Amino acid sequence: DTGVSQDPRHKITKRGQNVTFRCDPISEHNRLYWYRQTLGQGPEFLTYFQNEAQLEKSRLLSDRFSAERPKGSFSTLEIQRTEQGDSAMYLCASAKTGNYGYTFGSGTRLTVV
Amino acid sequence: DQQVKQNSPSLSVQEGRISILNCDYTNSMFDYFLWYKKYPAEGPTFLISISSIKDKNEDGRFTVFLNKSAKHLSLHIVPSQPGDSAVYFCAAPSSLMNNNAGNMLTFGGGTRLMVKP
């Protein structure tokens, strides 16, 4: 069990650029979540996958955001035309069916300048 | 609409003393609660949980108390150690609308605990 891996750890991008983050969940976990955390706030739910199916999206996830989980393994989160308000820590988590608790990755910190 | 609130953004205690972190919730449908600890530049890690059928759950130095009538829970750390310095989040799971088998966690805003040697 190598935990949940996220790449990159840090990303600085210019406003208007596209960015993509990757998450590798724990291998036997069929559920995968993306959360966003801004300074002084708790993590906020963005989207949820069960295996390869994206089953839920928060209204926080604007049209500029897209997430995929091909083959039910790793997941990617893409942000198009980044804005300064997108600056945050993007957290990925995975869980087994039936478990309330998640295992989080270390996150990708995005800074949009 | 903040369904889970942690009203104290920070708490400072002396090493060896008790740390008490508080959390309030508004959604009476919540029936399970979790506490996570987060160090800088790391993701949150699970600490302890409690089901609404209990009013107390203990794990070593950590105890969580649940008062359902007050919609309040607290995390006690005794004795506090400098390594406990971190941000603590309480969270509650709720079913996702489109799939009852999934759940999302609603987090409070966190409390930064500083344990002074």
Binary contact (A102, B46; C-beta < 8 A): yes
More confident residue, A30 or B99: A30
Instruction: Provide CB contacts within 8 A for A42, sequence distance 6+.
Output: B4, B6, B89, B91, B107, B108, B109, B110
Q: Is the pLDDT of residue B101 over 70?
A: no
Sequential pLDDT tens for chain A (113 residues): 579 999 999 999 999 999 999 999 999 899 999 999 998 899 999 999 999 998 888 888 889 999 999 988 999 999 999 999 999 999 999 998 777 788 999 999 999 99
- Chain B residues touching residue A94 (CB < 8 angstroms): none
Q: Specify the DSSP class assigned to residue B71.
A: T
**pLDDT confidence of B44, banded at 50, 70, 90?**
very high
Closest CA to A38 of A83, A84, A92, A89: A89
Binary contact (B43, A4; C-beta < 8 A): yes
- Chain B residues touching residue A4 (CB < 8 angstroms): 43
pLDDT value of position B102: 64
pLDDT value of position B96: 64
CA–CA distances in Å: residue A95 to residues A19, A50, B30, B41, B67: 25, 10, 19, 21, 28
Write the secondary structure of A23-36 as one string of H (helix), E (strand) and C (coil).
Answer: EECCCCCCEEEEEE
More confident residue, B41 or B115: B115
